[in-house]
Structure 1
Amino acid sequence: MVNRGFWVTVVMALALILGMAACSVDEPPGAESGEMNSENSDGESEGDTDGSSAGDGPFTIGISLPAADHGWMGALIANAEEEAKKHDNVEYILHTANDPNKQTSDIEDLMTKGVDAIVMLPIETAALTPVADTVAEQGIPLVVVDREVNTESYRTYVGGDNYGIGFGNGKYLVEGLTEKNGEPRGRVVEITGVPSSVTDLRSQGFRDYLENYPDIEIVASQPGDFTREAALKATENILQANPEIDAIYSQDDDMTIGIVQAIRDAQRQDEMFIVSSGE
């Protein structure tokens, strides 16, 4: 799998290029330079930059990401800020949010501030599709990262092969069940992420691989929302309702931490194994 930390460099570069193509050098929009500030996870960070030049400017890039309640998301935010600092004529406005309504409001705020391009990682695919269309209608280049939106209004999408990830996880799970039970059979649980293209594609790939193994049954599937806390609760509920489980498929390694805790709390470590997607 491509290292997602690499995506930030690609996304920032794309946003810079798209922003330069969309604005006039004679009348560049954007906020005045200022000291870098930061607020909490539902707040906003603004900063001017220093380092290598990305061309004429100044340019302002709006960045909208989910809050850093996940290890990879925290790294993504940090890397986005670091990449922006490499360009002395680029300013950025970073918004993070905990729910789709807040993220939609954040993106509307970026449009109001006249940014030259927007980089967005949607919290949820369907919920963020309308505002993506609005960005396009305003003529602002949009770069979508990781989770897609249900529209082609964005200029560029940067993401991994999530169907392939799920398909590969299905393969590993079948191999594990064959080793455990002597043949590809067993009772399987799936812990999914938030409603998004990432979740849908990983689940579809996983299930497509299992279609060839009729003796493998998915007995439960619940969302873990890509957080260890939600995954812990989902797994606890599933363990209580299912006295026999052979394996659990986790769509995310942060959720896997919560899954492991639930299994240990139930003292069922010897009964099942976990196959996990991760970075």
Structure 2
Amino acid sequence: MKSLSKPSRRLVIAVGVALSLTLAGCNSDVSQVYSSSTPQNGKTGPVRVALLASSSQNGFNKAVYDGAVARAKEYGDVEVTVFDGKFDSQTQFNQVQNVAGQGTFDGIVLVPNDNVGIAAAIPAAARAKIPVVTTLFPVGPQLTELKPQVQGVVSTVAADTEANSKKLAEGVVGYCEGKNPCRVAILIGQLQFPFDNLRNKAYRSVLDGHANIKVVATGQGNYDRDTSMKAMQNILQANPKLDVLLSNADQQTIGAQVALESAGVDPSKMYITGGGGNQEAIKQVRAGKWAADQVDFPNSMGKAALEQVVNAVRGKQVTPVVDANTLGPVPVIVTKEILGQHPDFAGEWAD
């Protein structure tokens, strides 16, 4: 979903230092503000929530927003305003601090660009008594720890990215059994982002244990169709024979599929994966052109995140971790066979 500029990469280093100082040196009053699921004296009346999207132009983020708005309408007195993070770490970092200082909003739902770097901005929200609920990724230095790690974050609505990535790679291992060599191309978002790096390492931890599996190329698709199409064209020039495309994002797989078909490759003759569970991906898996897809439920995540932030604002019990894998009607990894058992599932978002 995102790319990281050089200034943003410098920011990651700087905020990493700031984060360690923040976690070590927060005063006791601030550390008690929305730091657990314990109910507190809450606000009565309308609740105003800022939804900080990693990019408001992105289909996944739009689905999170739509889910939050739908849940807000059920409350009747909750308003959601979206902010465009533009897939830029510095922009979103500034937005957190601006929202914390405005006095306009009561809570924040965050879809983080840089889940590690953004942590240093969160204490400003805690000091303003503005609870933060993070979706898709946890916020803080521990990428696989879903329990809130940073003061001000009250709940995480996400799944175990490392475990889900390993499950996707295990499907590749099953397909490659008996093929030697089994040539694999990996298409990842941006390796400089912590979670994309985690995904890639999870893939390799599974694949590298099998001598017949050869990872011949790793491309970066930036969660974009055109970028991914060009990345796959470059991969095919050096590796015209591929057995597997292991991609972590549906947008990337869709773009890569264009390149494969333009090169005369029948996707159904390969093992192709995507990630996200968007509507086009579900169609491709049902049609047998893709072998598997890792499914997310962004609309449901938006609803769950909005509920937790409203609970925090109103002094009600907050659930510190909402497992996003449990929010939908299908397993986290779907195949044509599994989707056949769920004929009504179409995916919760469109690119």
> TM-score, normalization: structure 2?
0.58
- Aligned residue for 1:219? 216
Report the equivalent of 1:145: 135
1:218 and 1:22 map into 2 onto residues whose CA distance is 55
The answer to whether the aligner puts 1:268 opposite 2:271 as a matched pair is no
State the AA in 1 paired with 2:201. Q
What CA RMSD, in Å, does the superposition of the two structures yield over aligned residues?
Answer: 2.7
Summarize deviations over 1:203-231 as a string: whole Å, max 9, x none: 23322221320221212212212222222
Q: 1:235 aligns with which of 232, 236, 253?
A: 232
Distance in 1, matches of 2:202 and 2:163, equals 6
Q: Partner amino acid for 2:79?
A: E
Between the aligned partners of 1:159 and 1:184, the Cα distance in structure 2 is 37
C-alpha distance in structure 2 between counterparts of 1:229 and 1:68, whole Å = 19
Larger mean Cα displacement after TM superposition, 85-94 or 56-65 = 85-94
RCO higher in structure (CA 8 A, sep ≥6): 2
- Please give the alpha-carbon distance, in whole angstroms, between the structure 1 residues aligned to 2:206 and 2:165: 8
Aligned pair in 2 of structure 1 residues 131, 125: CA closer, same or farther (>3 Å)?
same
Matched residues in 1 for 2:81 and 2:102: separation?
9
Q: Which runs of 5+ in 2 are unaligned?
A: 1-33, 142-148, 278-351
AA of the residue aligned to 2:139:
V
2:199 is the alignment partner of 1:202: yes
- After TM superposition, the structure 1 = structure 2 runs for residues 1-279 of structure 1, keeping only pairs within 5 Å, are 21=40, 25=43, 56-98=44-86, 99-114=88-103, 115-151=105-141, 152-153=149-150, 154-178=153-177, 182-183=178-179, 185-194=181-190, 195-269=192-266, 272-279=270-277
CA distance in 2, matches of 1:245, 1:231: 16
Distance 1:215-1:95 versus aligned 2 partners, 3 A rule = same
Paired AA for residue 144 in structure 1: T
CA contact (8 A) 1:163 1:201 kept: yes
How many positions carry a matched residue from both structures?
Answer: 229
TM-score after normalising by structure 1:
0.72
- 1:163 touches 1:203 (CA, 8 Å); kept in 2? no
**Structure 1 contact 188–220 (Cα < 8 Å) conserved:** yes
Question: What is the alpha-carbon distance in structure 2 between the residues aligned to residue 104 and residue 156 of structure 1?
Answer: 19
After TM superposition, give the deviation of residue 264 of structure 1 in Å.
Answer: 1.4
